[in-house]
Amino acid sequence: MASRATMERKESPQPVQKDPDVLAAAARMAGEDLCSIADLSSGEVRAIVKLGHDVKRNPREYRHALDAKQMVLMFEKASLRTRLAFETGINTMGGNAIFVDQTSTPLGERETIADVARNLERWVDVIVLRTYAHDTITEMAANSRVPIINALSDFEHPCQALADFMTLEEHFGTATGLNFTYVGDGNNVCHSLMLTGAQLSANVTVATPRGYSPDIEIVTKAREIAEANGCEIRLLQDPQAAVEGADAVYTDVCVSMGMEHESTKRAPIFRPFQVNEALMSKAAPHAVFMHCLPARRGEEVTDAVIDSPQSIVFDQAENRLHAQKALLLLLLGGLANVESFQR
């Protein structure tokens, strides 16, 4: 796959307040759930990213957009970026965050998920879940009258992927036509990246060891979206071929939370997929390195790569805040309270 030329950063072609994607998303997404990137249209993915850029540039415009809105975060897994970005995001837009630690008592154990949903919807405006089982998120969504946001499940990590492609737009100007390569385990992050890349017309190549490919349903859906948007989804088992000419090289841990018992088995299998200087040299000269963090340095990535000038991992982390603020604004109808959207 031929590498695209390096693009200069550029602003949106028109004010976000008049952007048709943003206006359509504001009308359609209010009160909806985000369980999967597949829940969104291409226009809605573009809208979240465009709004994320504007929130980042003009934070004061949105400081009262979610006045008095209440958000609960119920997390079965540890979190740094996801939790703090959501809490900071709603707090800086006038709302309030309530954190409930579910690490010792998984959702559905003490009382049914349906009963939890029917309680929460009486008190809060949005429910953010970080769970092991994706079914926990979809069951909560089926029983709640307020929006549910997937803040990570065993199947997807949509908030991560939205921030990642926002970051790519900052560095390359657009995701359209970008050659994006993911190397490693075909996990939840990989799933959301495939879907988001396809929605934004990026060419996505995934290289995994045999037996660790992404879920076939996700692959099929991503390819359907890619075909409609004029881009390509490729699955390979050779990391060297996968990164050839890539504009962005992305990896994640090879042992996700909850899979620690497989560490010894997976280590030798994933060793050839480590992103090191030799592998990065196969990518385009202007290529960036990406990781969702936390990283296991010396395993899936070397210090020389993650600490190099090519690395944009902390830009990704920063943009979790802005992409999640944009998502909250759209799901909670917050743009109606932003003065610039009322003109």
CB 90 within 8 A of CB 71: yes
Q: pLDDT (tens digit, 9 = 90+) per residue, 62-75?
A: 999 999 999 999 99
pLDDT of residue 39: 96
Catalytic hit among 160, 274, 310, 316: 160
252 is catalytic: yes
pLDDT of residue 255: 79
Distances in whole angstroms, Cα of residue 272 to Cα of each of 197, 211, 254, 275, 308: 25, 15, 12, 9, 20
Catalytic hit among 35, 159, 190, 292: 292
Beta bridge mates, 129: 74, 150
Catalytic hit among 46, 291, 320, 322: 320
pLDDT of residue 14: 75
Q: Which amino acid is at 253?
A: V
Residue with tokens 């504007």: 54
pLDDT of residue 257: 63
- Looking from the CA of 69 toward its CB, the CA atoms found within 13 Å total 29
Beta bridge mates, 181: 205, 249
320 is catalytic: yes
Helices and strands counted in the chain (H then E): 14, 9
> Reduced to 3 states, what is the DSSP secondary structure of residue 257?
coil
Instruction: Measure the CA angle with vertex 70, ends 68 and 71; round to 5°.
Output: 145
Catalytic hit among 46, 53, 81, 130: 130
Catalytic hit among 46, 157, 191, 223: 157
* CA 257 to mean position of chain CA atoms: 17
pLDDT of residue 263: 78
Domains of the chain: 16-156+320-337 (3.40.50.1370), 160-317 (3.40.50.1370)
Prediction pTM value:
0.94
Q: pLDDT (tens digit, 9 = 90+) per residue, 295-330?
A: 999 999 999 999 999 999 999 999 999 999 999 999
Burial class (CB in 10 A: 0-12, 13-18, 19+), 70: middle
Distance of alpha carbon 260 from alpha carbon 250, whole angstroms: 21
CB 155 within 8 A of CB 215: yes
Virtual torsion, Cα 315, 190, 180, 159, nearest 10 deg: -40
pLDDT tens digits in sequence order for the chain, 343 residues long = 444 444 444 444 579 999 999 999 999 999 999 999 999 999 999 999 999 999 999 999 999 999 999 999 999 999 999 999 999 999 999 999 999 999 999 999 999 999 999 999 999 999 999 999 999 999 999 999 999 999 999 999 999 999 999 999 999 999 999 999 999 999 999 999 999 999 999 999 999 999 999 999 999 999 999 999 999 999 999 999 999 999 999 999 997 666 676 778 899 999 999 999 999 999 999 999 999 999 999 999 999 999 999 999 999 999 999 999 999 999 999 999 999 998 7
Catalytic hit among 125, 164, 185, 252: 252
Number of Cβ within a 10 Å radius of residue 194 = 30
145 is catalytic: no
191 is catalytic: no
